[in-house]
Structure 1
């Protein structure tokens, strides 16, 4: 794929850079999402040429331009990512026109935030082993069960939930993909999970007879596995390239610190930094090849294996560059939060990179079975 930027892309870059420069100092949250939505910066990659939902239309290269400029401007972390980049493309691919018209405008305006109800205790990476049940009750479903590692659940208005809608079904059979409103006191409880960094980015979500409208089943009853796996491909496809732009910025900060402290004079550490740079380029080329339309079995699993361990190594390198200073934080220390800086937070958070989103062990099994044709593991 030729991924060069043309004149139209550079015009788009100028517009994006000017908008970001005119809106400095934003903070993650609803106000920032609404500001992005009001000016059409949400949903650039949606296949909506008639612009029914208020989003700008943009080519793939222009989407990359926006991601580069957004990262370069140090703009706020997105709280609307799950709705914009995961649910919206899924609705465009599998949803009914009614579902698209009801849910996409709120996402495009930055007014409705979403979370993802996939992983469960005992069924994290092994998604087909989930036990959350959705029982049909007239025009609604009653959902009972527990989800875990649910990002943004405390702020979300809606959750897309993969649940077992056919009693007695096994594995990937009998699953449905439901859109569930989160504002159901007494029926939905969200409990933050405190991480070793002191943050609580993830949550447990308990469903106790939570209600979902029957018209809000995406892909039809029993079609959840096809919809869910399609969504995961998007999560590890387009989003991977955007993620790598953030990785490049983190690597640049570690390199600058190594030069400033003199740590770069150590040939072993310098070699490790060069390897990180080279591996990041390989990941970028792999992502571009995938985005260019090359459909290869196991490609999402290969990408996950590459970036998960890469980011862990970067966290380890960042601590090595800091030396003994990395063992103490600037404070203040409170019972609610640790006084750590961005480097230390990256190191601690990256411990989870080879687990969440599908553990490395699961990804290797997928590659072995679906790409190499090896015998499946006994269950």
Structure 2
């Protein structure tokens, strides 16, 4: 068993990269999609079921876990892997994004962010040093730098100031992370949609030196066209020989577009959140299972899918349990969505390895443009 963290690029087709991240807890095949286990669980899923979909790694949320049940408690109980019964790698975010988006009254200073919990109003301080300490207590394999992420649109001066603060915090995060063989710290590039600010951020991160590099501050309201415009240059500014992680993305076509532009890793709550609200992603686009057209339909959601929702249940049943607010509805649709997202990743990995990414991408878009199968 390996004791180190490493990344190897196995093939490239255009800018799309096929690779492998090696960790002591197992390999991560890239491009990789990471299901989000916000509070030490991927909602509506058993960990074994998440693994069955093909996921090599999960994401956990520092902000949520530090508030409940607390990182100290998880550490006493053997760390996050033991606590949630997931033996493969885990990446934890730094908590910065959730503090900005969820926390109550918050005060941002050079030191960090003082905020009030959205759960009980208790006061907390999150700094680069405290974020590193929490992530160490959780025992995550990939740790994210503490950063600040302003919502877009924002004016250039605000983005510039925020990016430079994040770079100072990145240096403090690296210092506080220390020497931890087998574990990885990822730096986070900021700079909004500005190519020169992104370049300045990338240069600062390279100088500090990280095991991987994330593209932060996208998928925060700027729209797909603007995001792709930024991804046309942002990944190229990061080291070629390290994994590149686009945070918080996204819809299936966002993911494919990101991989096409040189991204290796992504995460998003979309598959699980949509599953709980009756939305299923399929190779023919999005299906709203709540629609009355499915009430008498004996056909599967997607006849080419191997998940239990598609293998064992009809659209009529899935419609019924959603309308009846039965728990199994969220379970089956989440499993299906996670399976579909992992199938996309597997398809892209095969295509890149075979030098056929453009053809695969054309088929992917053509299938989704067809729309759902006609009603009976």
TM-score interval (norm. to shorter): under 0.3
Structure index of larger Rg? 1
Q: Which has the higher helix share?
A: 1
- Provide TM-score, normalisation by structure 1: 0.26
Q: Which has the higher strand share?
A: 2
- Provide TM-score, normalisation by structure 2: 0.26
